[in-house]
Homo-oligomer: A and B are copies of this chain.
């Protein structure tokens, strides 16, 4: 990667067209994903240059367990949006990639028509790193796509581990895809995913309409109960606030995608008018900053020579009960010259 000025990076990305812009986007994202210190400095410069051109897109997070039909849904939604004149970017956080280095979700062929459409940009998950690192790269890639004029950015993840929280933490609206199967509901509640969902979509409703209707009723009731004791508790009758809800559709038959987008539009209108969309983005940005700071502090601590030397012995002493955990923590901090 050559060292060229930020302007020459940003120009084709902001104002380029077709393949030229596409190449600029790919190049920018590759730069952002680089771990080299000089690239990182360039990347920060580029991000700062792009930032004024971001924020106008709608950021839609989509999650669901394997088999729920995410690809089919996103393909149907993406083509629907393009037909309406939108430009659609699809980014992916694949928690499996952080473990195996492989990527289930990265396979572009999952979305046959969307992936070759000139008004769509599909980028697979960064292929390695911690979840936090992958999430950071995805957030930055999202900004790049927004600067390039994509006005709907979809961030997709599979329902494993903490990736849903990461996706909900970088999007304006978090949608949970569910199968018409009540057993899955409890899992989603247990994992705290139901609680962060702005909309629950029961996909594959065509397979068993009765089950889908039962699931919708049950999820609606759960969403109400989950919201009752939360911060929205007082707002059950406040029409200016969005209340999480459940709907059903069939992405495979392309039934209900229009109704889905109506709900998204309604969410966006309400949350823009009541200021919650802006507040959510500000909160997300600050949370992101602190998360990266904490990660950086831990990395630096673990890399400190004195810590590297003493840590194995301390871990053994704590495990064997020879030293209290709090004492060990204080000693390790002191040897890294961290004053507490």
Contact = CB atoms under 8 A, between A and B. Distances in A.
A99 interface: no
Interface stretch (A74-82, A171-179, A249-257, A329-337): A329-337
A300 interface: yes
A292 B326 contact: yes
A282 B294 CA distance: 24
Interface in A266-325: 282, 285-286, 288-294, 296-301, 303, 314-315, 318-319, 321-325
Interface string A100-132: 000000000000000000000000000000000
Contacts of A139: 325-326
A289 to B, nearest CB: 4
In the assembly, how many copies of this chain are there? 2
Nearest to A301: B297
Contact of A327 (B44, B225, B328): B44
A233 to B, nearest CB: 12
B293 A332 contact: yes
A43 to B, nearest CB: 8
A47 B324 contact: yes
Interface stretch (A2-10, A150-158, A181-189, A197-205): A181-189
